[in-house]
Structure 1
């Protein structure tokens, strides 16, 4: 039996409970702050790469000093929209948007309003897997997250498999270089991006958003589409928000659930600890999983006024116009912030004051993801029910990378289940 190094965090008293699986060797861990000069090239930005958790948080918390640059936000035309999409808006308007949607996503609200729904959908998901004796978890998790989050958003007038297909199709995009004004795409790539992006959005409008709007114009419900109608959002603005909530709230949560299951099914001690724990400890384990395996690996901001960041006794001033790349995977494994063995799964590791268990996996500052409570509770509801039946991992899933969200995807996650199995 292996023994723990003297500097192992308290959450890992013995052997490590798993190591990072979503690794990109081309992403260095140092330097903590790096400036990549554009060299005066037209249409190319100077880029600051922040790999330390402290300077990254300072940048993300510099209120009104930066604007959203990730998710190709700067290529999205917004001039004709009265209400900018919450994902790419900034400043006081963004603050107001977040304040108003907080009533749908606060932890207590998620538990009270959607707890029973998550339990029911999770039960149905597991029951289907038990009947067939097999489960492809990446597909089951997608339909599960879509069904739950669609209720919160208000996309309830269409079938879940169809909505799932339309949301996933949106991610079929050509690669891009975010430091270039033209994203480094050729005309052919831009044409492909338009075709692969607009076609799923058009189908999402016709089959999902349009019928949802009709239903809520007849009768408002307690969901985000009803809220947007009350706020006077146009059909176009509502469609864009539905794409935002669909991709952020459904598709990325799917990857998190699959990654968490991969870790839990690969470590008997961790799985038994998870199943025996109360919900607070289970959520802490899931936070440690997403700290180690953040689904979105990079957050991009454009500097609008000078921002000063520090690391130890070093200080840098980021000038307006420069692009900032917050390297989440590196920041979340910064030993100065998360302690020893940063690339190991160590639930319960001590963290500095103000640093959450998930690190920067859900962002920070003005654009911190408001759906963090929902993602954690969704994952817990499904995983607790699934793991009680002792599923067996048939084969390792395929891991790949998505350019649009700078994150990983997992496919082919095949499980076998015994229909006679159950909790002991």
Structure 2
């Protein structure tokens, strides 16, 4: 392994307003894999280059199931903020923390649900929700787009797709807000556990209602799978998967939208091109996600056998963390990776992951960001940041990457 550009293990997850991309560039230059330390003190292996990242994300001996961790990881390290870990602990193993064959049954079910004819109606629903949120912004001189637009839109869309009744959405939103890392200030452990418990109670009740009286929504599809041919699926795993879809469709989509707005507003040439051509904007979503997606890193993986990545042999039972932000700016894969170019061919960026855990909701996420950006830029042609870009405070609390807030002028 090449000499490191900083003391090893690399310390990860410290809050920072600094640009992390320069640090990742130095790490990539030094080598593809580095020993690193998570915020809780856990030592892992950090993958920074594209080729090794893509290999790791699809490697059959790298599992996302913490059950494969060695005894030193008896208490699985903190990851993905409170929601995913707490919800899995309370309900069961969701699809992200499952391996084949259990993973395949859950994944195939969700794939079918996202691929049904109802997906043709998503655009109509997304446009309605976005237009309503923009109407609420109108007349306000300096709204804050993260909490005032992006998060409410994302929650409303995923609630619609899952089939959460309007009467329950206020309660769900209250609990969800206590779990997400808005402003880089996650809830206290007790508050997070209480909120996770409330989300589980709401989703369990809904799940059982849908099982008794299915509707045309994704939660009904999950509920009907409890007794599908081939043997019943565990109710807890299905509910945990529904909760995973809720939070990945909420927090990460909202952060992706805000990151995209920021990166366009600070680049007048790219903003002008996006305004001039809705078709170009639609195709630009992948470039915006490559350049600064909402995920700093993928879910933690555990080696079930010795794995060689680059020039490093990682023993069985070790913890591996793939940096999505770093891999997506690897110059060996992307020409001029530090330049945002919305006319760039999409390429095989890793913002949605790769392999069996590739984000199943990627088409919906792309649609939400496209519609929200197009309508936001069209309705407010004078949209600009309310502060200098250097004053924006970013949190770098892994695995998410987002500004703490997004104040704008309309």
Partner of 2:27: 29
Specify whether residues 339 and 109 from structure 1 end up closer, same or farther in structure 2 by C-alpha distance, changes over 3 A only: farther
Greater gyration radius = 1
Query: Which ranges of structure 1 fall in alignment gaps of 5 or more residues?
Result: 1-19, 176-188, 418-424
Q: How does 1:240-251 map to 2 (within 5 A)?
A: 240-251=240-251
TM-score of the superposed pair, with normalisation by structure 1? 0.74
Structure with a larger share of its residues in helix: 2
Q: How far apart are residue 409 of structure 1 and its match? A: 2.9
**Deviations 1:190-225, CA, capped at 9 Å, x for gaps:** x952x132111222245x425534642452122232
Q: How far apart are residue 57 of structure 1 and its match? A: 0.8
Equivalent-residue separation in structure 2 for 1:235 and 1:62 (angstroms): 28
Q: How far apart are residue 148 of structure 1 and its match? A: 0.6
Equivalent-residue separation in structure 2 for 1:408 and 1:72 (angstroms): 12
Secondary structure of the equivalent of 1:90? coil
Q: How does 1:259-338 map to 2 (within 5 A)?
A: 259-279=259-279, 281-299=280-298, 300-310=300-310, 315-338=311-334
TM-score of the superposed pair, with normalisation by structure 2? 0.77
Specify whether residues 78 and 277 from structure 1 end up closer, same or farther in structure 2 by C-alpha distance, changes over 3 A only: closer
Specify whether residues 256 and 110 from structure 1 end up closer, same or farther in structure 2 by C-alpha distance, changes over 3 A only: farther
Secondary structure of the equivalent of 1:343? coil
Partner of 1:360: 350
Specify whether residues 131 and 111 from structure 1 end up closer, same or farther in structure 2 by C-alpha distance, changes over 3 A only: farther
Secondary structure of the equivalent of 2:124? helix
Equivalent-residue separation in structure 2 for 1:375 and 1:383 (angstroms): 12
Equivalent-residue separation in structure 2 for 1:387 and 1:131 (angstroms): 16
**Deviations 1:374-414, CA, capped at 9 Å, x for gaps:** 111101111111101212332257433264x5212324323
Equivalent-residue separation in structure 1 for 2:339 and 2:368 (angstroms): 24
1:201/1:243 contact within 8 Å kept: no
User: 2:401 matched to 1:408?
Assistant: yes
Partner of 1:343: 338
Specify whether residues 268 and 37 from structure 1 end up closer, same or farther in structure 2 by C-alpha distance, changes over 3 A only: closer
**Deviations 1:157-187, CA, capped at 9 Å, x for gaps:** 43545433321211369x9xxxxxxxxxxxx
Q: How far apart are residue 21 of structure 1 and its match? A: 8.2
Secondary structure of the equivalent of 1:104? helix
Q: Which moved more, 1:270-279 or 1:154-163?
A: 154-163
Count of aligned pairs: 363
Equivalent-residue separation in structure 2 for 1:58 and 1:295 (angstroms): 21
Partner of 2:10: none
Partner of 2:376: 386
